[in-house]
Amino acid sequence: MANAVVLLSGGLDSATALAICREAGFVAHALSFRYGQRHLVELDAAARVAEALGVAEHLISEIDLRRFGGSALTAEIAVPKDRDAQAMAEAIPITYVPARNTVFLSFALAWAEVLSANDIFIGVNALDYSGYPDCRPEYIAAFERMANLATAAGAEGRQHLRIHAPLMTLTKAEIIRRGHALGVDYGLTSSCYDPGADGRPCGHCDSCQLRAKGFAEAGLADPLWQRFAESD
Amino acid sequence: MANAVVLLSGGLDSATALAICREAGFVAHALSFRYGQRHLVELDAAARVAEALGVAEHLISEIDLRRFGGSALTAEIAVPKDRDAQAMAEAIPITYVPARNTVFLSFALAWAEVLSANDIFIGVNALDYSGYPDCRPEYIAAFERMANLATAAGAEGRQHLRIHAPLMTLTKAEIIRRGHALGVDYGLTSSCYDPGADGRPCGHCDSCQLRAKGFAEAGLADPLWQRFAESD
């Protein structure tokens, strides 16, 4: 049984990536970040998902990306609401956090070396929401190449790193169907960019809209809404 | 006047890299890390060097690499002393911190994007101490390639990142001569892996030995010793 490091945000995509990692037979070590995001609801979701899917360890690393500034996810900038698909596709969204995936993958790389793990899983996706540059396949390939030159274990031939991005070319509906088949309880996840204090999704940000469209296309009900309907 | 981000550890090499960055006409933004290192003497040194060489801003980022384990620089493992050059060259030293330069450069990348800076300076060197995999030219080139795919500014053609490693192929004596010519006061820096509480170097670790050899070959006295001789 080989170790793997899985980046786990608490969202729908990373929960599915974790399920795929477990299905492939890896011992999963989940890594989340308190990075100055405005909403810590997603870290609660990450902890629930990690427990439900069975990880060897769930580590939350503290870093402060706010100090560099410049994102609606970490600063008091309004999250855009009710945008259509074309508006979403037109430009890099203001919810982009500078170099976030590079920072996250770098920490995953450090942990992978200590664990003697060759495998890192990340739930990035290039189809549904192509605005993030650090979600593209050419970026992931370049990170993998760099990573294999970065570590002592790699330099000594003891480590051959592979960055797995199993959702890269799937639609949101395909991701949901895949996770559903693997038994992921999406009611535990959190996708909203602007949730209420209790974690209730706003229903209008880009992420909520893409999630709703994905469940509709997959022909499934989103169990997250059921959870909040029950608590009303 | 263009902005640049300079990784500044407080050691001899990064002080020289900062002086080279300033000489090239950049507005320098110095970045240091409190990363769980046992000795905070080097952060005091970084602050002294940043002030002496003139930076627009000196930011100390808090990250905790100790949680991943596995290095004499962050854990209670003894630092090797009085090793000869062959012993130093034989294997990757236990002072290696997993993926450290990758983590540091990732934060520099995030800051560079926010500053609209194309240039990042790092004082790595492949000659004198070749044990660190993330100090090799092929590693730096691979990071630069990845970085140019990672950012929104890069994806939109507004940023063309260059990772400058101006000390890469210099000997320690050449680095010291270069910094001396640029007016670097090496008495402000700290290189020792195992300093006293007042910052006094041990004189026996690999880093102290390489520094002493460098000053001897450069035909210069190390002003650091002078500083401690004066305080005796």
Q: Choose the weakest-confidence range: A26-35, B96-105, B183-192.
A: B96-105
Using the 8-state DSSP alphabet, how is residue A135 labeled? Answer: G
Q: Mean per-residue pLDDT for B212-225?
A: 95
Q: Taking CA atoms, what residue in B is nearest to A107?
A: B103
Q: Which of A73, A104, A144, A149 to mutate to test the interface with B (most CBs of B within 10 A)?
A: A149
Residue carrying structure tokens 């090797």: B80
CB-CB under 8 Å, A69 with B114: yes
Q: Choose the weakest-confidence range: A65-79, A116-130, B126-140, B188-202.
A: A65-79
* Residues of chain A neighbouring B140 (CB-CB closer than 8 A): none
Q: Which domains can be identified in chain B, with CATH numbers? A: 3-231 (3.40.50.620)
Say what the pLDDT of residue B91 is.
Answer: 62
Say what the pLDDT of residue B222 is.
Answer: 95
Say what the pLDDT of residue A102 is.
Answer: 95
* Residues of chain A neighbouring B70 (CB-CB closer than 8 A): 113-114
| DSSP assignments along chain B, one per residue | --EEEEE--SSHHHHHHHHHHHHTT-EEEEEEEE-S-S-THHHHHHHHHHHHHT-SEEEEEE--GGGG---TTTSS-PPPBS--HHHHHHS--TT--TTHHHHHHHHHHHHHHHHT--EEE----SSS-TT-GGGSHHHHHHHHHHHHHH-HHHHTTS---EEE-TTTT--HHHHHHHHHHTT--GGG----SS--TT----S-BHHHHHHHHHHHHHT---HHHHHHHHH-
Q: Residues of chain B with pLDDT > 70: what percent?
A: 89
Say yes or no to pLDDT of B90 above 90. no
Say what the pLDDT of residue A95 is.
Answer: 66
B171 is in an annotated binding site: no
Shortest CB distance from A151 goes to which of B99, B147, B156? Answer: B99
**Strand, helix or coil at A32?**
strand
Say what the pLDDT of residue A19 is.
Answer: 98
Q: Which of A20-34, A58-72, B120-134, B143-157 has the highest mean pLDDT?
A: A20-34
Helix B100-115 with A100-115: angle, nearest 10 deg: 180
Shortest CB distance from B133 goes to which of A67, A139, A150? Answer: A150
ipTM above 0.85, yes or no: yes
The alpha carbon of residue A85 is apart from the nearest alpha carbon of chain B, in Å, by: 19
Neighbours of B69 (CB within 10 A): 14
Q: Mean per-residue pLDDT for B192-202?
A: 88
CB-CB under 8 Å, B68 with A114: yes
* Residues of chain B neighbouring A132 (CB-CB closer than 8 A): 152
Say what the pLDDT of residue B152 is.
Answer: 81
Average pLDDT along chain B = 88
Say what the pLDDT of residue B74 is.
Answer: 63
Q: Which of B73, B107, B122, B130 to mutate to test the interface with A (most CBs of A within 10 A)?
A: B107
- Name every residue whose Cβ is closer than 8 Å to that of residue A32 and which is 6 or more positions away in sequence: A7, A8, A9, A10, A43, A46, A47, A58, A59, A60, A61
Identify the segments of chain A with pLDDT beneath 70.
38, 69-77, 89-95, 128-131, 231-232
Say yes or no to pLDDT of B79 above 90. no
Query: SS3 string of B8-25?
Result: CCCCHHHHHHHHHHHHCC
Say what the pLDDT of residue A232 is.
Answer: 66
Beta-carbon contacts below 8 Å between A and B: 140
* Nearest residue to B151 via CA among A176, A143, A36, A224: A143
Say what the pLDDT of residue B132 is.
Answer: 80
Say what the pLDDT of residue B86 is.
Answer: 73
CB-CB under 8 Å, B151 with A99: yes
- Indicate the pTM of the whole model: 0.91
Say what the pLDDT of residue B159 is.
Answer: 83
